[in-house]
Amino acid sequence: MSQKVNIFSNRYNLTEDIKKIVINELKKHDFVINEEYDETADFNIVIGGDGTFIKAIHDSNFSEIPFIGINTGHLGFYNDVKHTDVLDAIEKIRNKDFIEIDLRVIDCIVNTDNDKHIFKSINELVLKTKYTEAIHFDLFVDDVLLQKFAGDGIIFSTPSGSTAYNLSAGGAILFQNIDAFQITPLAPIRSTLHRSLDKSLIVPKDTIIKLITSKPEESYFAFGVDGLHKEIEHINNIEIKLSDKRIKKIIFDKNWFWKNITEKFIM
């Protein structure tokens, strides 16, 4: 029986060139190609940069079909197959010569006066005020009040998102499929009035984080959900945890993560 492949891509010239090569090679081996999402497909192939990979996850509603990333962008953490290696990658797909790993997802529930908003994130959730003043909230970890936070904002990142905004903000790099997530403050205020943590905190998979706003006038937050901007008013509390949902990713080299770290940040 022919295998089905969903193709996701951006519109850059290099991407279009590599996409033609990928489609032609797959068709030679009787793969059925879908350029619109088909939930019965065997693989999701993403051609572009890491932003294209993240968009494909959201556009497919966090599909359970394994993702394969071909890099025609810059950094290439999610899209780790070099565009010069696509023929070799397709051959390995045909021969089932690959490793499937799970990437963790963050669930976020925002409770307002009149509604509930639910978000999922494969990379990070960023919380700031809409305006330029400091953000204030009580941060609970498993019902224990950890701190009364004041500062520019806070980042909640998945392990796979730890090398993005989180790293730029001084957070740690986490191995991409570890069962944990990270809380990284943005310009926290430390004074006689405020004792906000000024370092990242890595918490295990079953941890539930709850943020409670202390003043109604400070309950208008701006969210960045994997780079998508959202504004929500009249927030009472926010709950954040690792999701039961996981994203399946295909890799072809067991040492891919360490090679990525070396090539992207050290060499």
Binding residues for NAD(+): 50-51, 55, 123-124, 152, 163-168, 187
138-147: string of b/e by CB count within 10 Å (b at 16+)?
ebbeeeeebb
Question: Per the structure block, which two tokens stand in for 81?
Answer: 């197959």
Query: What is the sign, positive or negative, of the torsion defined by CA atoms of 146, 243, 69, 259?
Result: positive
Q: What is the DSSP string of 6-54?
A: EEEE---HHHHHHHHHHHHHHHHTTPEEESS--TT-SEEEEEE-HHHHH
Burial class of residue 237, CB neighbours in 10 A (0-12, 13-18, 19+): middle
Residues tagged in the binding site annotation: 50-51, 55, 123-124, 152, 163-168, 187
Q: What angle do CA 150, 152, 155 make, to 5 degrees?
A: 95
**Which residues contact residue 201 at a Cβ distance below 8 angstroms, ignoring those fewer than 6 apart?**
182, 183, 184
**Which residues contact residue 223 at a Cβ distance below 8 angstroms, ignoring those fewer than 6 apart?**
108, 110, 119, 125, 126, 127, 229, 230, 231, 232
The answer to whether 50 is a known catalytic residue is yes
Q: Which of 17, 30, 42, 50 is catalytic?
A: 50
Query: What is the sign, positive or negative, of the torsion defined by CA atoms of 71, 77, 80, 84?
Result: positive
Q: Do 8 and 35 form a contact (C-beta atoms < 8 A)? A: no
Residue for token digits 């310009």?
A: 187
Length of the chain in terms of residues written: 267
- Mind telling me the catalytic residues? 50
